[in-house]
Amino acid sequence: MSLCDSTEGFGLEAQHFLVAVIVISCICSIIGSFFFLIIFSYCLWEDIRSPLRSLIVYLSIADLFTATGNLTGLGNNLIQPTDPVLCLIQSYVTTSASTCSFLWTMCIALYLYLVIRKKHVAALRAIYVFHILCWGVPLFLVSFAMGFNALGEDNYSETVGWCWINNANLISWPYWENKSRAIFWKILVGKGIEFLSYIFTPIIYIISKRALQSDRLNQQLLLNTTARVRATIQDTDRKLVLIPIVFLFFRIWGSVRWLTSMPCPGFLNLYAMALMQGLGDSAQGWANCLLFCVFTTKIRLKFKDLFMDHCCKKGSNQYTTC
């Protein structure tokens, strides 16, 4: 039997492992987005509240809702029959949040480019536009889709535990054949912006990296670069490579699975693809935590000092030295 003819589902043990991976990924993203990025590294330390860090926080809020929605959808998927109201709410939240996340990812790339090109005023003014674009557009599109009954259970997404676009025969507009109608809504409320982010984000980061390298060369020629500036440039240089790589690695699997499932429905039941989608669709929160907290020297040292202070206080209470 060819892959395209395959209609078999996953075995019980494989399904349990898939659920475990999704749950772990969701919980790690919730912890990474909420505790590390929003509370500790932003609200706790005033000296790191830069405009860029604020944009990262907004991205983390979107990723937090995505992971929470995916976790809720997974729990709803385990209920037989699935609660249609909870399915609709989960689809609305995760579809909106995922689209917000893609838009914020592109906006952060654009903001970094403007800053590297020393267009600081334009970068700060762009933040107001970013809010309208990143919050307003997804909420409008998803609300528009909900008005035509386009949100709900879907064979593509329910395999990994959550709802997305409704079964095509339940959607009331546009008046095309069922398959074309479903594809239209999937592109409009998610995949269109997602595919755009796969192209836009790497290109902007490549351009930014080239501009940064040119700027670094000019500074070295002028011999006026301090150690702190060099360290900042090197850290930014690394992130300009890591951010698009991590972003594409985690988020592209769901799109690959969706694209290949249209001509070849057997890909819906290809376990490796479902596993990577289940892991990657909820992974952006903890991946950003690693990039912007663990792999950021300033934030990492602050957490280290916080931990050491706690150990010192605990040790002094026990009459020991730190």
Written as one letter, the residue type at 169 is N
pLDDT at 140: 97
pLDDT at 156: 67
How much of the chain exceeds pLDDT 90, in percent? 44
Query: Domain count of the chain?
Result: 1
Would residue 178 count as lying in a domain?
yes
Using the 8-state DSSP alphabet, how is residue 164 labeled? E
Would residue 256 count as lying in a domain?
yes
Phi, psi (degrees; rounded to nearest 5) at 165: -100, 140
Judge contact between 145 and 188, C-beta under 8 A: yes
β partners of residue 165: 151
* Domain CATH code at residue 139: 1.20.1070.10
Give the confidence band of 2 by pLDDT, cuts at 50, 70, 90. very low
Please say if the pLDDT value at position 309 is more than 50: yes
Please say if the pLDDT value at position 164 is more than 70: yes
pLDDT at 67: 94
Would residue 305 count as lying in a domain?
no
* Cβ-based neighbours of 149, under 8 Å, separated by 6 or more: 166, 170, 171, 172
Integer angstrom CA distances of residue 23 from 163, 249, 256, 286? 16, 19, 22, 13
Would residue 46 count as lying in a domain?
yes
Angle at 38 between CA 32 and CA 42, to 5 degrees: 125
pLDDT at 7: 44
Would residue 101 count as lying in a domain?
yes
What mean pLDDT is reported for the chain? 84
Tens digit of each residue's pLDDT (9 = 90 or more) over 55-89:
999 999 999 999 999 999 888 877 777 788 999 99
Q: Which has more confidence, 193 or 83?
A: 193
| Least confident among 106-110, 158-162, 253-257, 278-282 | 158-162
Would residue 55 count as lying in a domain?
yes
* Separation CA 216–CA 236 (nearest Å): 11
Give the confidence band of 228 by pLDDT, cuts at 50, 70, 90. low
Domain that holds residue 28: 10-298
* Separation CA 285–CA 144 (nearest Å): 27
pTM for the predicted model, two decimal places:
0.89
Q: Which candidate, 205, 197, 31, 213, places its Cα nearest to that of 109?
A: 205
